[in-house]
Amino acid sequence: MRASRGAVLASVVVLSTMGLVGSAQAAAAPGVASADNCDRLSDNDVVADSGHATAGDRQITVYTAKVTDAYAKAAIEGYVARYDKVWIDRSVNLFSMGSSPGHPSTATVQSNGGWKQCGPFEATWWNATVNYVETPTVRLQLSGKSYAVRACMMPKGSSTGTCTAWFVDHT
């Protein structure tokens, strides 16, 4: 069961005032200017699972805003170890939306201009304690079209990343 965002934030406030934690957000991996490719839109919408994948005992999920359709983010949950890495890929160019979500192949996204990577962000001891780590947001829809997004992770000690299928939102 995933802790509610309010409960996690309340815990962070308490721990922050005690000087035990600097941030609930995952820290960027050393040497990576990862925040440059994040759109960092306001994360104030109801989100839903728009695709997930597993690697061992970890699950990576791409969450998309359901009311505004404005943003997407990636999260590892269920079990998180310190030094796990999480990122979200977002296509550079927009895709036309259909009546149901689309799932283009990586080759299709590549031929449509490729993608940018928001991350990787590395899980801290705090993320491992609450078994949850997420990325900042990336834009999902713009002018009646949708970017393709996918969530990715690399568990601590692994040299192989795991990603969800690409997701293109629907009208």
pLDDT tens-digit series, residues 36-88: 789 999 999 999 999 999 998 999 999 999 999 999 999 999 899 999 999 99
The pLDDT value given to residue 104: 97
pLDDT digit string (tens) for 88-119? 999 999 999 999 999 999 999 999 999 999 99
Beta-bridge partner residues of 169: none
List phi, psi (to 5°) of 116: -110, 155
Please tell me the distance from the alpha carbon of residue 24 to that of residue 40, in angstroms, as a whole number: 15
pLDDT digit string (tens) for 115-157? 999 999 999 999 999 999 999 999 999 999 999 999 999 999 9
The pLDDT value given to residue 171: 87
Place of tokens 């078994």: 131
The pLDDT value given to residue 14: 35
Q: What angle do CA 163, 169, 171 make, to 5 degrees?
A: 170
SS percent in the chain: helix, strand, coil, step 5: 15, 40, 45
Give the sign of the dihedral formed by CA 136, CA 28, CA 125, CA 162.
positive
Cα–Cα nearest to 3, from 141, 100, 133: 133
- If you ran DSSP here, which 8-state letter would residue 70 be given? -
Beta-bridge partner residues of 115: 91
- Measure CA 88 to chain center: 5
| In the chain, where the domains are located | 26-168
Q: Are 56 and 155 in contact (CB under 8 A)?
A: yes
Beta-bridge partner residues of 88: 118, 151
pLDDT at residue 20 is higher than 60? no
